[in-house]
Structure 1
């Protein structure tokens, strides 16, 4: 697959659908929540990295800071909103809590859109021997979670 083909495949909707499928695996969901809550990792970034791994692409090291910067617009807002939603869980009705969760999902979608826009402006390279998810887990000190992210998506979903 060429760089241009990857950019054509990676749309916000494609990444969102991939996220829903990938996150539906209990093992992946648990690992993602651990990555987020204990290691301060970004689940949307991890899922994007998994998408790139699955398509055998990698981000050039010189572009990594651009990917991290693309999270800037939504990361603090998501973090604060997530904390607020957790506190509200015991104080509000189930209906209001579900509405809060839906709003959080809209913020997640916006963050993914920002990531897709960033990636589609980068020159990707063919993936080398190390996966991006492995690299990200290592960067966060969460190497033990890599096993949950290493399996190909089609294996997890079958």
Structure 2
């Protein structure tokens, strides 16, 4: 078992850089799950990343991570995202891009909150066939099945 907090600082920077690359490949699925089921894209990317590194969090850890971010999102990120989307039709492209940049900054703040919440959690090193994937566990919080999203099954 590995404690996430025991990784060196470059681990965390590498994690989100890797997640950015995953996002580029999975953008359509991530955004559809965000819009249709209110999933947190950063948590979904973390689940994909952990699965690719054969690390597992428990279902209760996923529930805790989701809960930790929910109040932050409901207070700030989700209302801002809604405002940005509503403003798209009336803003110049440069103004809209500024709003998008602020939203991306808020997403980075969410990533920092995830890292803080992740630090005390214990990651189990397992082989993929031994247990449910992190993606399956995270999707289950929303009563979704990973087999319905084949692009997420690596």
Q: Tell me how far 1:56 sits from its aligned partner.
A: 1.1
Q: Tell me how far 1:141 sits from its aligned partner.
A: 3.2
CA gap of 1:62–1:139, structure 2 versus 1, over 3 A, is closer
Question: Any unmatched runs of 5+ in structure 1?
Answer: 152-158
* Contact 1:23–1:29 (CA under 8 A) maintained in structure 2: yes
CA gap of 1:135–1:123, structure 2 versus 1, over 3 A, is closer
Correspondence for 1:94 = 93
2:64 aligned to which of 59, 63, 66? 66
* Contact 1:39–1:140 (CA under 8 A) maintained in structure 2: yes
Q: How does 1:97-116 map to 2 (within 5 A)?
A: 97-116=96-115
CA gap of 1:84–1:126, structure 2 versus 1, over 3 A, is same
Give TM-score scaled by structure 1 length: 0.81
Quote the RMSD (CA, aligned, Å).
2.1
Moved more, 41-50 or 138-147: 138-147
Q: Tell me how far 1:15 sits from its aligned partner.
A: 2.8
- Is 1:150 aligned to residue 149 of structure 2? no
Aligned length: 147
Give TM-score scaled by structure 2 length: 0.83
Cα displacement string for residues 46-68 of structure 1 (whole angstroms, at most 9, x for unaligned residues): 11111111111111344344312
CA gap of 1:99–1:8, structure 2 versus 1, over 3 A, is same
